[in-house]
Structure 1
Amino acid sequence: MTYNYEYFLASVVQQQAAFSWLLATIAFLFIINQRQPRKRKTPPGPKPWPITGNLNLLGSIPHQSLDSLSQKYGELMLLNLGSTPVLVASSPKTAKLVLKTHDAVFASRHTPALGARLFEGGALFWSPYGPWLRQGRRILSSELAVTRKIDSLEYVRVEERISLVSRLYEAAAASKPVLLRDHLSKLTGSISARLLSDHKKSCKTGDGRELRTAPIDMKRLNELVDEFFRLGGLVSNLGDWVPWLRPFDLQGCEKRVKGFSEEYEQFLDPVIEEHRALMKAAGKDFVPNGLIDVFLQRADDPNVEESEVALTRHRIMGLIHDVVSGGTDTSTGSLEWAFQEIARKPNVMEKAKEELDRVIGRERWVEEKDIAHLPYIESIIKETFRLHPVGTLLPRYSMEDCNLDGYEVTKGTISLVNVWSIGRNPEYWERAEHFLPERFLGSDIDVKGNDFSMLPFGSGRRMCPGYNLGLKVVQATLANLLHGFNWKLSGGVKPEDVSMEEVYGLTTHPKFQLSYLIEPRLPTHLY
């Protein structure tokens, strides 16, 4: 009995020891598991390479490459461009998540070398979310988004369209082929220049003097803006995505950006100083004549609230650049794409002319107020925006962690809304690859950032502040060019031969310019 009792006690002790070890092991494993980072559920995407990540997959036309990848990985996918996580949204649903549901999270922007160097970060396009972005947008919105102010400057848009029509009429009379891009760039550039500084108006002083500034050299300014859009493409600078490679400047981008920024400042400096001198000369009689004067007045206003960010020389330059870049290249590109598509579809041009003749007649030009009564013209514009958004990728930057459609997205992730992909998504658009303006007749889809299947001007906190003005320029210009002239491809080019290849940059344009032979279709006295 003694033996059995001792054996029993020894067995109990062993079991207790084993149980204690088991508890200790479980506790240890629990603690270790808690300390280890939990595997996050992230959106699907391709496996990245060392150092460069998925940069090799973007190709020369990134939005098209990303569209192809989305068909494999889904409407919300995660890539790594260098060492930077990049979230790509390719459907109206996921675009809404980024631009509306989590708009506050994704309100910032990743700042590349170009954005940091240009005017010392004064331009709003690349500005991170903060006091300067909010204040700068308020300034631009108060001048470019208020209907009363837009309407008060309609005479500028009309005068510049008349100049365009006159140039085209001369080309028609001489039977000269017309390269439309050059004429459109001059139109949009001239409108932007006069918004900034209307050289056709003067400031009258109390002693009878008339003061006016010289016209801005828009040819040179357009060249600078074109270079900006070329330098600002998604993959133009490897150092933007692999920061430790930036000092080596393997592509020479840093050097180009530095030189470009200096050239741009040297161009704008005398323009600003001329306006400052005119303000001083006019004294109490000074009346602002364009946005540059408005910016300078705000910069010198002693009554500005202390909480406002100082409107420095570089920030004034940044605002000037935002006005020009937002009002020239984008409008020109949209009009050019519209004509590319119309050239391929002669029946579209005939339907547009039939509507114009029926609503407007042939005894006057189209006015901006007429557009509401020209649904087919509006539909051509919408269909152009759908198939050929000039800004193909809307970049945002997450300022904090968030959950997106069940996926975890970390702070510091760049999001790209692929507007090009959304516009060609067959789940949302019937015969998505075809140019069919008729699809918008009777449709309530708008382009003002409320419908996430159409985002030509963006949406949310970073939507283009001058979208209404840009839309008026594009609509009225297209309507009057179709109303005033018959357009025929020159050089024996047939409609089916028109190329739709793209040139990629911050904005996307047709790779090949079309040449037209035109003839007037209205009475001579209207030209």
Structure 2
Amino acid sequence: MSAFHQSAGHIKDVMATVGQEYLLFQRHLKSSKHCFGMHLYLRSAHKGAKPFHDIPGPVRLPLWGNLLHYKLGAFDGRKYHKVLERLHEQYGPIVREAIGSRTVVHVFDPDDIKEVYANEGHTPFVAPLMETAQLYRKQKNISLGLGNVNGKEWYRLRSSVRHLMLRPQEVHVYFPAVQEIAKDFVSHLENILLVDGKVENLRDEVSKWVQESAGAICFGRRLGCLYGGEMEKMAQKIIDANKEVFQLSAILKFSLPMYKYFHTPKWKRITEAENFIYRTTEKYVEETINKVKTLLEMENRVEEKYQFIMQLLSKDTLSKDDVIIVTFSLFTDGLSTTVPALLYNLYCLATNPEVQDKAYSEIKSVLKETDEITVDVLNKLPYIKAIVKETFRFYPIGTEVSRIIQKDLILSGYHVPKGTHVDLTPNVHFLSEKYFKDARIYLPDRWLRGNGNTSYHPYLLTPFGHGTRTCAGRRFAEQDLYLILFYILQKFKLEYQSSSKRLEQVFETLLFPDGSVDVIFKPRSNYA
């Protein structure tokens, strides 16, 4: 064959390929609901994308970036979620902000969020939730834990705990223990109710329940957080220390990071609080390990309740420091996640009596078949689960999910280079009619299958994150929430003072109720 014919054949093949790609491209444009198909199609070459420095955002100053907006009161750091709503409203689906010298790109559009997740690979890189926690652990030369590492180190830790923490059948092993504690907590509530049916400090009491439940999983024993005496005092000290860490870390987020170089007063307080929580947890872990060793030596077996520690210790890939920090995270993380989640659920139920009545009817219907709730019964509570999901929409726990992108991407038509810190923030749409019909009405029914509801964008409401960096404690948190709501609603009718204003949120690294949550617990026996 001549060179001419070879060349002609090559050109023909190329043209055919181009023709096929063009047809595919046309189909893509027709099926796309958004106008960014061209940018996505050409993202590898970044043709037509606007440059990174053109991404809109508030005016940034040298060194300070946008920190003066927070320092001078234009932005309220304690209402950071409202700041994000304002940035989205003013600048659009993508916004560039500088916190000191650190640039952050806020990504609001769910299709852009999908694009980030689709290109993060097997080992997504994240920015730590709290730089203070990462710095503390580095200074103490202890294991950084899952949330503060990336790459191979993260993969090593995640691989070691994945089956233990993310498989439902493994989590269900602890069902009897957390069920018993849920019942005890309801009895505890009965004992501490004030004359008006309220609890003096509901957040702290819920925090004690969370510690007791997590302690049973992590240490295979009851800590006594609900029974008065020294152990309940110890639980309260951990609660107070945890609040200190999260509140001060939120303040430092919007400050020049002088604490990284000097022992500032706030950094000293954080260090003292972290020391107390870590040393207490380390003590519990050591006691559990010694108990396990003794049982093995004396009886050559270990009770199932020690399974969590046993499985961690059996991993050759985990050091003792790793075992401590993984246990530390599971033991304490619920204080800043499960606690506000339950408070918001109780509030939403108390202020939506028709929803509460429907949930109670569901509980009664499953109990007609059995005297005791089991894992199988728990799986027959679709409305309770829908309530939890709708509450996450009304009251999200976090403000964003952070990523350090590992590829150049085109987001909302802008070129965002590899290595950029992007914050994925779909929360601004949770009360938007664009994405949710009757968005400002609390409607758990919207999440029920076969209810004729419109499907929602899959990257809008992901309270535990998405992909391989999904929250490692998700299964434990869900099991706890479903169980405790079951027993509380079985025992109490929840009310809220009609004159009370809507519950607001405050940014303390995560989003907590702003003020007390004055739910009124009325025993259902009074209505019999």
Normalising TM by the smaller chain, what interval?
0.7 to 0.9
- 2:425 corresponds to 1:413: no
CA distance in 1, matches of 2:447, 2:467: 23
The structure 2 residue matched to 1:182, chosen from 204, 217, 226, is 204
- 1:124: which partner in 2? 145
3-state secondary structure, aligned to 1:389: coil
Counterpart amino acid of residue 518 in structure 2: S
Query: 1:381 and 2:381 equivalent?
Result: no
Q: Is the 8 A contact 1:232 1:506 kept in 2?
A: yes
TM-score (norm 1): 0.76
Q: Is the 8 A contact 2:95 2:107 kept in 1?
A: yes
Deviations 1:176-215 (A, max 9, x none): 53243333222221110111112269xxxxxxxxxxxx99
Distance change in 2, residues 1:200/1:68 (3 Å):
closer
Residues 166 and 113 of structure 1: CA distance in aligned 2, closer, same or farther (over 3 Å): closer
Matched to 1:233, the amino acid is: A
Q: Secondary structure at the match of 2:250?
A: coil
Unaligned runs of 5+ in 2: 1-49, 224-230
Aligned partner (choices 52, 58, 75) of residue 64 of structure 2:
52
Q: Within 5 A, what are the aligned runs for 1:62-73?
A: 62-73=80-91
Is 1:506 the equivalent of 2:528?
no
Query: In the aligned structure 1, how far is the partner of 2:466 from the partner of 2:54?
Result: 25
2:236 is matched with 219
Amino acid at match of 2:165: L
Partner of 1:435: 442
* Worse overlay, 179-188 or 502-511: 179-188
CA contact (8 A) 1:80 1:86 kept: yes
User: Match of 1:349, SS?
Assistant: helix
How far the C-alpha of 1:154 sits from its partner, in A, is 0.7
- C-alpha separation between the residues in 2 aligned to 1:521 and 1:481? 10
Answer whether contact 1:376 1:437 (CA < 8 A) is retained: yes
Shift, 1:383, TM fit = 0.9
In structure 1, the residue matched to 2:493 is: 486
Q: Give SS of 1:430's match.
A: coil
By how many angstroms is 1:246 displaced? 4.1
**Cα distance 1:252–1:338, how it changes in 2: closer, same or farther (>3 A)?**
same
Q: Over alpha carbons, which structure has the higher Rg?
A: 1
Q: Does 1:197 align with 2:212?
A: no
Q: Which residue of 1 aligns with 2:432?
A: 425
Instruction: Please tell me the residue identity of whatever aligns with 2:62.
Output: P
Aligned positions of 1:239-388 closer than 5 A: 239-240=256-257, 246-247=260-261, 252-284=265-297, 285=300, 287=302, 289-290=305-306, 293-294=309-310, 297-298=313-314, 304=316, 308=317, 311-313=319-321, 315-361=322-368, 364=371, 366-388=373-395
Q: 1:53 and 1:105, CA in 2 relative to 1: closer, same or farther beyond 3 A?
A: farther
Distance 1:292 1:360 in 2: 31
Are 1:153 and 2:174 counterparts?
yes
| Whole-angstrom CA distance in 1 between matches of 2:312 and 2:166 | 20
Q: Against the structure 1 CA distance between its residues 120 and 398, is the aligned structure 2 distance closer, same or farther, given a 3 Å change threshold?
A: farther
> Greater CA deviation, 90-99 or 269-278?
269-278
Q: 1:426 to 1:105 in 2, by over 3 A?
A: farther
2:313–2:323 Cα contact (<8 Å) kept: no
C-alpha separation in 1, matches of 2:98 and 2:335: 33
- Which residue identity does 2:236 align to in structure 1? K
**Superimposed CA distance per residue, residues 378-435 of structure 1 (whole angstroms, 9 cap, x where no aligned partner):** 2221110112111222122234544435422234422212242242333211232332
- Corresponding residue SS for 2:150: coil
Over the matched positions of the two proteins, sequence identity in percent amounts to 21
Q: Could you say what secondary structure the match of 1:479 adopts?
A: helix
**Residue 334 of structure 1: CA displacement?**
0.9
Equivalence map 1:444-459=2 (5 Å): 451-459=458-466
The alignment partner of 1:395 has SS state of strand
- DSSP-derived class of the 2:272 partner: helix
Deviation at 1:464, TM superposition (A): 0.4
| Alpha-carbon distance in structure 2 between the residues aligned to 1:280 and 1:157 | 24
Amino acid at match of 1:190: E
Distance 1:152 1:247, change over 3 A: closer
Aligned position for 2:116:
98
Q: Does the 8 Å CA contact 2:401/2:423 hold for their aligned counterparts?
A: yes
Q: Could you say if the C-alpha distance between residues 280 and 445 of structure 1 is closer, same or farther in structure 2, counting changes exceeding 3 Å? A: farther
CA deviations over 1:134-159 (Å, ceiling 9, x no partner): 22222332222222221221101110
Aligned residue for 1:78, secondary structure, equals strand
Quote the offset at 1:454 in angstroms: 0.8
1:508 alignment partner AA: L
Displacement of 1:456 in angstroms is 0.6
2:40 aligned partner? none
Please state how far the C-alpha of 1:99 moved relative to its aligned partner: 2.6
In the alignment, is residue 115 of structure 1 matched against residue 122 of structure 2?
no
CA distance in 1, matches of 2:274, 2:193: 40
Q: State the alpha-carbon separation in 2 of the partners of residues 261 and 200 from structure 1.
A: 23
Deviation at 1:234, TM superposition (A): 7.4
> Cα distance 1:44–1:236, how it changes in 2: closer, same or farther (>3 A)?
closer
- Residue 291 to residue 509, structure 1, CA distance change in 2 (3 Å): farther
Is the CA contact 1:42–1:409 (under 8 Å) kept in the aligned structure 2? no
Gap regions ≥5 residues in structure 1: 1-37, 202-213
SS at match of 1:268: helix
Spell out, residue by residue over 1:3-59, the C-alpha distance to the aligned partner (whole angstroms, 9 max, x if none).
xxxxxxxxxxxxxxxxxxxxxxxxxxxxxxxxxxx9656532222122221232542
Query: One-letter code of the match for 2:167?
Result: V
RMSD across aligned C-alpha pairs, in angstroms? 3.6
2:493 is paired with a residue whose SS is strand
- Structure 1 residue 162 and structure 2 residue 183: aligned? yes
Contact 1:337–1:388 under 8 Å retained in 2: yes
Aligned residue pairs total 457
Do 2:403 and 2:422's aligned partners in 1 also have CA atoms closer than 8 Å?
A: yes
Corresponding residue number in structure 1 for 2:250: 233
Counterpart code for 1:311: S
Q: Provide the residue aligned with 1:33 in structure 2.
A: none
The offset of 1:443, in angstroms, is 6.4
Structure 1 residue aligned with 2:23 = none
- Match for 1:151: what amino acid? H
Which TM-score applies when normalising by structure 2?
A: 0.76
Residue 131 of structure 1 and its aligned partner are, at CA, apart by: 2.7
In structure 2, relative to structure 1, the CA distance for the partners of 1:155 and 1:326 (3 Å cut) is same
Look up the match of 2:500: 497
Question: Deviation digits for residues 294-335 of structure 1, max 9, x if unmatched?
Answer: 37624xx7xx3xxx4x5143x333212211233343112111
* TM-aligned CA deviation for residue 513 of structure 1: 1.8
CA distance in 2, matches of 1:123, 1:361: 48
**In the superposition, relative to structure 1, how do residues 89 and 470 fare at CA in structure 2: closer, same or farther (>3 Å)?**
same
**How far is the alpha carbon of 1:106 from its aligned partner?**
4.9
Distance 1:131 1:507 in 2: 27
